[in-house]
């Protein structure tokens, strides 16, 4: 059989490939082309919000050296890497050869990963400057909102500061961090983050975190939700003071709680007695360690029967699956079944953590220095939250995760064409997707022209340069 060469060198920077279409030549070009053509409306979104300018203005590090990269270049470079599916600091370097991103975001250059890490270490711990700058985003939250609190385990494999051996179901015995996060229910916005050692309990420092979150957001939620790890006398007593939010926590089925449930009469259970159907009951309990009597809501489902003739016994016994919750919400406000349904909606925050870990490099931007890891996580959340708001304009009827959103709205081949003062991005989109994409862009433009001026940025921004988007 005659052998054929697939690759034919034809000269410096040029190669040929034998394909089904025949011989195809491949060569590099210095033209302003980019795989990130979808960044144009997103850049306008950032510009109108003024977040990047504000972050740079409030960064607690002053750059006095004329050779040092501008703070805004460093912060923006990192956030662009997060938006472009980066999950390690060195992934920033993949963007350095793209001239169009610098054009769109007004950067002198995209800096290297070492520069980013050095600045983050100089910044040190504490994220008030990031949180206060990001407060503009929380205007997108409803007037009365719920905060879902949870913690997540971040396994570490090096010698990172504050990495400790603690609860780690995936990697038992491995060091980890155990950050505390909050999610605004129904929006998937994540307004609060605190890095903690791996041996920290779920509710450790939570009362301070709730006060801090209220300060950062400028207002309190009407309800805090948390799982069994957050249910403690300290957290419930904190909520029961004047002008504090309501609370709803899942209860651990302890022996004392099981005894109380066993004392319930059959008439106390509301709802039909069918397989898999929820029945509810209520108790006023003061469990061990509690200072007050509190409202406890219990749910059960019939899962089957044990005993009976098939098991050689005279009597048959119903087998139930139980769940229990404690809340400060009154019976006049919500019935028992509504309390349980209200808690179940908390499950969406788990989807947020899953997306952050698997699609946003939440675990990957890690350094041996605590302050670097913490600053990276806080800025990543700014990028994540801003992207979520942007996607709500592009796809208002459904939530789009980052793995799809980037492919649909960001990773679009485009070419920058300059003529006098006008810049035109020619984007490679066609077919039915062109119409869908343009409809999304129209919604973004409507928001930029009508809604955005009502959102006051911390620092005034220069008017954006004239630009056009043309599909090809």
Q: Take residue 464 and report the two structure tokens written for it.
A: 């954006």
Q: Take residue 300 and report the two structure tokens written for it.
A: 């059960």
Q: Tell me, what DSSP letter sits at residue 226?
A: E
pLDDT of residue 232: 92
Question: Could you read off the pLDDT of 52-73 as tens digits, one per residue?
Answer: 999 999 999 887 788 889 999 9
pLDDT of residue 455: 42
pLDDT, average across residues 142-166: 90
Domain boundaries, the chain: 1-30, 130-356
pLDDT, average across residues 13-22: 84
Under the banding of pLDDT at 50, 70 and 90, the label for residue 417 is: confident
Query: Worst-scoring range by mean pLDDT, 386-395, 415-424, 462-471?
Result: 462-471
Please give the class, per CATH, of domain 130-356: alpha beta
191 alpha-carbon distance from chain centroid:
9
Cα torsion 252, 254, 258, 259: sign: negative
SS3 of 436, please? Answer: helix
More confident residue, 186 or 13: 186
pLDDT, average across residues 92-111: 89
Question: Could you read off the pLDDT of 421-458 as tens digits, one per residue?
Answer: 788 888 888 878 888 888 988 988 888 886 544 443 32
Under the banding of pLDDT at 50, 70 and 90, the label for residue 309 is: low
Task: Count the Cβ atoms, other than its own, within 10 Å of residue 218.
Answer: 10
Strands 223-226 and 164-165: unpaired
Q: Are 116 and 122 within 8 A, CB to CB?
A: no
pLDDT of residue 326: 98
Report the predicted TM-score, pTM, of the whole model to 2 decimal places.
0.86
Nearest Cα neighbor of 34 from 434, 468, 411 is: 411
Q: Are 335 and 56 within 8 A, CB to CB?
A: no
Task: Count the Cβ atoms, other than its own, within 10 Å of residue 335.
Answer: 14
Q: Are 37 and 428 within 8 A, CB to CB?
A: yes
pLDDT of residue 8: 45
Position 297 pLDDT exceeds 60:
yes
412 burial type by CB count under 10 A (0-12 exposed, 13-18 middle, 19+ buried): buried
Under the banding of pLDDT at 50, 70 and 90, the label for residue 226 is: very high
Q: Are 384 and 82 within 8 A, CB to CB?
A: yes
Position 315 pLDDT exceeds 50:
yes
Going edge to edge, which strands form the sheet with 278-285? Answer: 189-194, 180-184, 146-151, 223-226, 246-250, 316-327, 294-307, 278-285
Under the banding of pLDDT at 50, 70 and 90, the label for residue 472 is: very low
Q: What is the mean pLDDT of the chain?
A: 86
More confident residue, 471 or 386: 386
Question: Could you read off the pLDDT of 29-53 as tens digits, one per residue?
Answer: 777 788 998 999 999 999 988 999 9
Query: Worst-scoring range by mean pLDDT, 4-13, 227-236, 244-253?
Result: 4-13
Percent of the chain scoring above 70 in pLDDT: 90
106-109: long-range contacts, CB 8 A cutoff, minimum separation 24: 107/72, 107/73, 107/76, 107/77, 108/69, 108/70, 108/73, 109/69, 109/73
Helix 370-394 crosses helix 113-123 at what angle (to 10 degrees)? 110
């Amino acid at each position: 059989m005659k052998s054929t060469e697939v690759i034919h060198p034809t000269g410096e920077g040029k190669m040929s490939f034998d394909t089904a279409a025949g011989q195809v030549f491949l060569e590099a070009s210095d033209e302003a082309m980019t795989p990130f053509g979808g960044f144009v409306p997103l850049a306008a979104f950032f510009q109108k919000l003024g977040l990047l300018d504000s972050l740079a203005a409030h960064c607690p590090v002053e750059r006095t050296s004329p050779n040092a990269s501008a703070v805004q270049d460093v912060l923006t470079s990192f956030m662009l890497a997060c938006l472009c599916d980066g999950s390690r600091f060195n992934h920033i370097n993949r963007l350095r050869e793209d001239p169009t991103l610098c054009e769109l975001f007004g950067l002198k250059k995209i800096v290297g990963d070492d520069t980013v890490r050095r600045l983050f270490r100089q910044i040190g711990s504490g994220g008030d400057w990031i949180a206060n700058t990001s407060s503009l985003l929380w205007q997108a939250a409803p007037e009365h909102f719920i905060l879902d609190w949870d913690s997540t385990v971040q396994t570490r494999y090096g010698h990172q500061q504050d990495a400790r051996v603690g609860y780690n179901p995936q990697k038992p015995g491995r060091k980890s961090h155990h950050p505390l996060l909050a999610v605004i229910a129904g929006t998937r916005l994540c307004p609060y983050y605190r890095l903690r050692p791996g041996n920290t309990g779920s509710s450790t420092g939570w009362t301070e975190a709730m006060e801090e979150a209220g300060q950062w957001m400028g207002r309190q939620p009407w309800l805090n939700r948390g799982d069994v790890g957050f249910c403690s006398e300290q957290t419930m007593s904190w909520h029961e003071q004047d002008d504090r939010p309501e609370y709803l926590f899942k209860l651990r089925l302890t022996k004392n709680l099981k005894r109380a449930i066993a004392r319930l009469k059959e008439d106390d259970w509301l709802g039909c007695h069918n397989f898999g159907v929820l029945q509810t009951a209520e108790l006023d309990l003061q469990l061990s360690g509690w200072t007050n009597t509190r409202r406890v809501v219990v749910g059960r489902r019939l899962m089957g029967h044990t005993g009976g003739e098939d098991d050689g016994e005279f009597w048959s016994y119903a087998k139930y699956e139980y769940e229990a919750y404690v809340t400060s919400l009154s019976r006049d406000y919500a019935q028992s079944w509504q309390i349980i349904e209200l808690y179940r909606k908390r499950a969406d925050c788990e989807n947020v953590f899953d997306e952050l870990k698997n699609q946003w490099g939440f675990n990957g931007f890690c350094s041996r220095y605590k302050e670097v890891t913490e600053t990276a996580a806080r800025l990543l959340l700014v990028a994540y939250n801003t992207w979520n708001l942007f996607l709500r304009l592009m796809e208002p009827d459904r939530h789009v995760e980052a793995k799809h959103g980037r492919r649909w709205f960001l990773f679009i081949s485009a070419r920058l064409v300059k003529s006098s003062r006008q810049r035109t991005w020619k984007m490679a989109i066609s077919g039915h997707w062109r119409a869908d994409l343009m409809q999304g862009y129209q919604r973004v433009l409507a928001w930029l022209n009508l809604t955005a001026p009502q959102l006051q940025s911390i620092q005034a921004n220069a008017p954006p340069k004239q630009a056009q988007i043309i599909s090809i």
